[in-house]
Amino acid sequence: MLSPAPSWPLDAPSPLWAKLSRERFSTPRLEGEIRADAVVIGGGIAGLATALAFLDRGCSVVLLEAATVGAGASGRANGQVIGTLTRHGPEAIAATLGQPFLDLVAGSADQLFALVARFGIDCDAVRHGWMQPAHSPGRARRAAGLAAQWARAGAPTEALDAAAVTRRIGAPGYFGGWLHRGGGHINPYAFTLGLARGVAAQGAHVFEHSPAGRIRPEADGWCVTTPAGSVRARVLALATGAHSGPLWPQLARSFVPVTSYQAATGPLGPRADRILPGDEAFSDTRQDLRYMRKDREGRIISGAALALQPGAALRLPRLVRQRLALLFPELRDTDMSAFWGGRIAMTVDRLPHLHRAPGMAAWVGCNGRGLALCCAMGGVLADAALGRPEAELALRPTQIQTIPLHAAVRRTARLILPWYRWRDRREI
C-alpha cells in the first residue's frame, strides 16, 4: 500500500519550495509608529510588485505582511509562468477590458523574468515555454485559434498538432494544443523571497508578522494599525488576494477563495529525462484542469482540485498519481513525496478587477494566473492608489460587485467540480 504524502498547513509556504529555495529573507515585525508616502498590505508577489512600483515612482514605502513573505498563494503555487488569462483569449480580453490591458497581459511573463534578472533572483527560472494541450478535437481547433490570436497580440506562439504535443510531453493522450514560448516555470517561493530582498534593498520597509488590524482614513491619508505599531501614509494599496478579509469587507465578498492543491513525486532520476524533455510547463484545456512541470531535481509537480476537502492529504496525492499514470504508466507506483495547498481568488467572470477609493486601491482575481499577472499589475495598483486618471490605467477601476449569498456560495462553490468533470468527458 502506498503511503500518503506528508501534510502541510495552509498558513505556510510549500514544504518542497521551501526545501529547494536558496533565497532567504526575513524581517522583524513593525513596532512603534512609522510614516511613509505609501503603505502596502500583503507580502506576496502582488504586494511586493506594488511596493516596487511605488519606489520606482519616487515614493517611500512600508509593506506589512501578516505572516511571513511568501506564506500565502505566492509561496504555494505550482510555479508555472503563464502570460495569458484562464478563460479569455486576446480578442475577448480586448473587447471586455481594452487593448491596454491586453498589452499588459501579453507582456506579463516578460515582467516576471525581468525582475529575476534585475535582482538576480535564484529561483530555478526556466523559460522554455508553456503549453496548453487539448483534451478533445474541438479544443484542439480552439487552441489553434488562440495561438493565432496571441501571435497577433505580439506573443511568441505556435499551434501544435497531436504528434508535436506527444513529443513535448513525452506521452500520447492529447489531440493538439498550442505553445507560448514566453512562458516557463520557477520556484515561486524562492522568487517571492528574492523579490522581497530586492524591494527591501531598494529602500522599502518590509515588516513580517505585522497583520493590519484596522485601516482608517485621516485628513492627509491613511492610518494602518498592527498589534505592535502603526503606519501613517498618504496612500494605501491592498494586495491581499484570496486572504482579503474585514479590512475592506465588500472586497472580500466579491470573489470566491478556492483551495488549489499541489503534490510532487520524489526525484525520478533517469525517468525524468523523457517526461517533458524540453522542460516546458503545461496546463490543459479541461475545466477540471490537469497540469504539470518538473523541478531542478527531476520531480513532477502537479495538482488538482477536490469537491470535498476532508482527507485531502491522502486523497489528493492519490488522484494526482492516478492522473500521472494515465500519461506515464511507469509512475503508477510512484510515491508522492510532498503535498500542500493554497487559496486563490476566483471571480465570477474569471477576470481581474481593480477597485479604488480616494487614496486607496485594491485588485483581486488572479484566477490561477497569479505569478506573471501579479508582477504586471504592480504598476497599475500603485498608479490607481496615487490617483492617476482612470483613462490612463491599463485596467479600469470598477465598483465592487458583491456576490449574492456569498457565505453560501463560498461553502458550496467547489461542488461544481463533478459537473466540470462530466462536461470534460463529453466534450468532442
C-alpha cell at 351: 477576470
Structural domain of 200: 15-129+182-413
- Per-residue confidence (pLDDT) for residue 38, from 0 to 100: 98
pLDDT surpasses 90 at 151: yes
3-state secondary structure of 161: strand
pLDDT band at 411 (very low <50, low <70, confident <90, very high): confident
Q: What is the pLDDT of residues 380-406, one digit of tens each?
A: 999 999 999 999 999 999 999 999 999
More confident residue, 12 or 226: 226
274 lies in some domain: yes
d(CA 193, CA 123): 9
CB 360 within 8 A of CB 222: yes
pLDDT of residue 414: 84
Check residue 428 and give its pLDDT. 80
Average pLDDT, the chain: 94
Q: Is residue 285 part of a domain?
A: yes
Domain assignment of residue 219, yes or no: yes
Domain count, the chain: 1
123 domain residue, yes or no: yes
User: In this predicted structure, what is the pLDDT of residue 4?
Assistant: 44
153-165 pLDDT, tens digit per residue, is 999 999 999 999 9
What mean pLDDT comes out for the span 315-325?
A: 96
Instruction: Look up cell 493565432; give the residue.
Output: 148
pLDDT at 415: 86
Side-chain-side CA neighbours of residue 127 (13 Å): 13
Residue 3 is predicted with a pLDDT of 41
In the predicted model, is pLDDT for residue 5 greater than 60? no
Query: Is the residue at 214 inside a domain?
Result: yes
Between CA 176 and CA 157 the distance in angstroms is: 14
Q: What percent of the chain has pLDDT over 70?
A: 97
Cα dist. 199→79, 110, 192 in Å?
21, 18, 10
For 48-95, the pLDDT digits (tens) are 999 999 999 999 999 999 999 999 999 999 999 999 999 999 999 999
Grid cell listed for 86: 484562464
Amino acid at 168: R
End-to-end CA distance of the chain: 37
Over residues 6-35, mean pLDDT: 86
The pLDDT tens digits of the residues spanning 345-354 come to: 999 999 999 9
d(CA 311, CA 331): 22
Which pLDDT does position 11 carry in this prediction? 56
Tell me if 165 is assigned to some domain.
no
Each as own residue / partner, the long-range contacts of residues 312-315 (CB below 8 Å, 24 or more positions apart, any chain) are 312/261, 312/339, 312/341, 313/4, 313/5, 313/6, 313/7, 313/339, 314/4
Lowest mean pLDDT among 21-25, 64-68, 181-185, 342-346: 342-346
Report the CATH number that the domain containing residue 216 is assigned in CATH.
3.50.50.60
Amino acid type, 26: S
pLDDT at 2: 38
Please give the backbone phi and psi of residue 130, each rounded to the nearest 5 degrees, phi first: -130, 135
Dist. CA 204–CA 376, nearest whole Å = 19
For residue 361, being part of any structural domain is answered with: yes
Give the per-residue pLDDT at 281.
98
Whether residue 153 is contained in a domain is answered as no
Give the mean pLDDT of 315-330. 96
**Residue whose C-alpha cell is 512600508:** 62
pTM: 0.96
pLDDT value for 9: 55
